[in-house]
Structure 1
C-alpha cells in the first residue's frame, strides 16, 4: 500500500502562496522553527518519505504524543457530527446533555463551548494528570465561571474536554471510538 503523507506547519500555512511551498521546505521550516508538525503514514509502517529525502520514524503505537490544540478542530468536527446525526442543535444546553450539571452551568450551549464563550475555566489541573470523566466533570463543574456564558471570549481547554464528555455520553462510545466510527 502506498504511504500517504501529510505535513503541516504554521510557517507553511502562513505563507501567502502555499502551493509554491514544497512539502520538504514546509517541513524544514517547521523543524528549524521548532513548530508543530503533523505527519501521517497510511501504511502504518512508521516511515514517511517526503520528496525521497527525509525519513521520519514514528513513535511506538502505545506512546502518548502531545499534538496540542489540533484536537480542538477534531473535537469541533465530532461535535457538529453529533449535532447533525443525533438530533441536537448547537443551542442544546449542558443541562440537557449531561447529568448533574450545576445550575450556573446548565444553560451553557454547545455553541458557547465551541466558541470559547462558555465562561468555563481554561484548565482544571496538569495535562498529564489522569482523571476519569466523572472526576473531570466534577472538577470543572465545581470551579467558578470566569464570566457569564456568552458574554466574553476566553480560551478554554476544559470547555473542549467537556465537549468530549458530551460526545461520549450522547454517542455511548468512548471519544476515540466515536472518531473512528
Structure 2
C-alpha cells in the first residue's frame, strides 16, 4: 500500500492546486465505505480524511450536512468541533507564552481577579492539563434558564463558588470550565477577543479560510453542517444547547480541508515553536480515562497516538494522529451517536498494518 500511496501522491502533485483542492482526491475505498455505511444516504452524515506524509489519501463526505434541504456533506463542510476546539485554545495560550505575555506557571488569578480565594493558586498549566480542580460550570447552571451561557458567564458562575473539587495540581479531572477561562485569559492578555485572536494568529496564517469560533449574530459559517439527534424514531435538528456559545471549550467550526492545514502546522515551526509543540504533546498529567494514559495541552496521549474527541449536542468528532508514521485520521459527524473514535482507529489500522 505504501508504494501505491506514493504513486497516488505523485499523480496528485501533477494536478493544478485548485483542481486538487476541489476534487474528490481518493478513489472509492470499500473498506472505509463499509465502515461509514450508516452515515451514507439521506441521513445526518460524516466527513472522513486520511493524511499520509502530508497528502490526502482518502477524503470523502457521507450523508447530509443539512437534512431539511438534502445538502450533502463534503470535505468543505464546517462542523462544530466541540472539544477538539481545546487544542486551538491551548495553541493560543502557547502563542502568548512565546510572545512573553503569559507564563505557564502564572496564576490564572493574575488575569481573572474575579476568581474566588479557593481558586487563587490555579495556574495556566493546571487549566491546560485539567488538573485545576475547578467545578464543572454545567453543574452550576440554572436548569430553568434556557439562555445560552458564554465564556464570561462561566467565570461569573465560578466566581460565586468559593470551593474547588480538589487541591489544584493534585489530580486530573476533565474540565470544560478550565478551557472557558483560558479563552478569557487569551482575550485579556492579548487585548482582543478570543475569536479575533484565533482568526489573526492561527486561522489566517494557516490558510484556514472558513474556520471560526462561532458567535451567533456576529459571524456566518460557510457550508455549515447542522447537528441532529435520533429522537422518537427520526432525526431531529439539535444544533444548539445552552452551552453551545461557550467558545474556549468547544465553539470552533472547521472543515476537513482546514483541519488538514492545522495538522500540517503541528509538524514544523510555521505556527508554534518546537518548544511549544513539545509542551503541547508531552504528558502533563496521568489520567484514569480509558485509552488516555496521559493528557498534554489540548491533546489526549496514548503511546505514539495523539488524539482528541469532540462531543456536543448533535455532533461527534475525532482527530487521531500517529506522528511517527506521519498519519492522521479525522472523522467529523453531525449526529449525536455513535462516538467515532473506534471508527478512526479502524481506519488508521488499514495504513498502520502496512507501514514499517
Q: Same fold (TM over 0.5)?
A: yes
**What residue number does 1:151 align with?**
170
The separation in 1 between residues aligned to 2:107 and 2:98, in whole angstroms, is 16
**What residue number does 1:80 align with?**
94
Would you say 1:130 and 2:148 are equivalent positions? yes
The separation in 1 between residues aligned to 2:124 and 2:45, in whole angstroms, is 30
More RCO (CA 8 Å, sep 6+): 2
Would you say 1:91 and 2:105 are equivalent positions? yes
Whichever of the two has the greater Rg, that structure is 2
CA contact (8 A) 2:130 2:172 kept: yes
The equivalent position to 2:195 in structure 1, one of 173, 176, 179, is: 176
Structure 1 residues 79 and 53: alpha-carbon distance in aligned structure 2, compared to 1, 3 A threshold: closer
Name the one with the larger helix percent.
Answer: 1
Aligned length: 152
CA contact (8 A) 2:115 2:158 kept: no
Structure 1 residues 145 and 56: alpha-carbon distance in aligned structure 2, compared to 1, 3 A threshold: same
Shift of 1:52: 10
CA contact (8 A) 1:121 1:146 kept: yes
For structure 2, the 5+ residue unaligned runs are: 1-17, 50-57, 64-71, 201-356
Would you say 1:103 and 2:122 are equivalent positions? no
CA contact (8 A) 2:136 2:177 kept: yes
Shift of 1:162: 0.6
**What residue number does 1:56 align with?**
73
The equivalent position to 1:121 in structure 2, one of 116, 125, 135, is: 135
**What residue number does 1:162 align with?**
181
Name the one with the larger strand percent.
Answer: 2
Which secondary structure does the structure 1 equivalent of 2:137 belong to? coil
In the superposition, the TM-score normalised over structure 2's length comes to 0.36
The separation in 1 between residues aligned to 2:136 and 2:45, in whole angstroms, is 23
Shift of 1:70: 0.3
Shift of 1:85: 0.9
Kindly provide the CA deviation profile for residues 55-85 of structure 1, in whole angstroms up to 9, marking residues without a partner as x.
Answer: 62566x8xxx532210111111111111111
